[in-house]
């Protein structure tokens, strides 16, 4: 199982920089950068909620599930 972060794609679509998103969401630039690159193992729902509210998107626009197993 793999969850892929697509935050960079949504930010690009909205023409929003990491600094601007950081200011609007109230999350440190470093933490958003780690989220953007997928270098985190967890995301708080409150953070996800703030990101979605700011970017006017759904969680599914930011998170994508990819099955890395060939067989079930």
pLDDT of residue 68: 77
Band (pLDDT 50/70/90 cuts) for residue 2 is confident
The owner of tokens 């985190």 is: 40
Cα torsion 42, 5, 21, 54 to 10°: value is -90
pLDDT of residue 72: 54
Task: Count CA atoms closer than 13 A to 40's CA, side-chain side.
Answer: 15
The tens digit of pLDDT for each residue in 6-57 reads 999 999 999 999 999 999 999 999 999 999 998 988 999 999 999 999 999 9
Is the pLDDT score of 71 beyond 80?
no
The pTM of the full predicted model, rounded to 2 decimals, is: 0.86
What does DSSP assign to residue 5? E
Q: Could you say which of 3.40.50.300, 1.25.40.10, 1.20.1630.10, 1.10.260.40 is the CATH number of the domain covering 2-66?
A: 1.10.260.40
pLDDT of residue 5: 93
């Amino acid at each position: 199982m793999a969850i892929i972060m697509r935050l960079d794609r949504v930010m690009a679509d909205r023409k929003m920089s990491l600094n601007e998103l950081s200011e609007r969401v109230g999350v440190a630039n470093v933490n958003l950068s780690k989220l953007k690159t997928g270098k985190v193992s967890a995301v708080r729902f409150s953070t996800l909620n703030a990101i979605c509210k700011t970017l006017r998107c759904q969680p599914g626009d930011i998170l994508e599930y990819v099955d890395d197993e060939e067989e079930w």
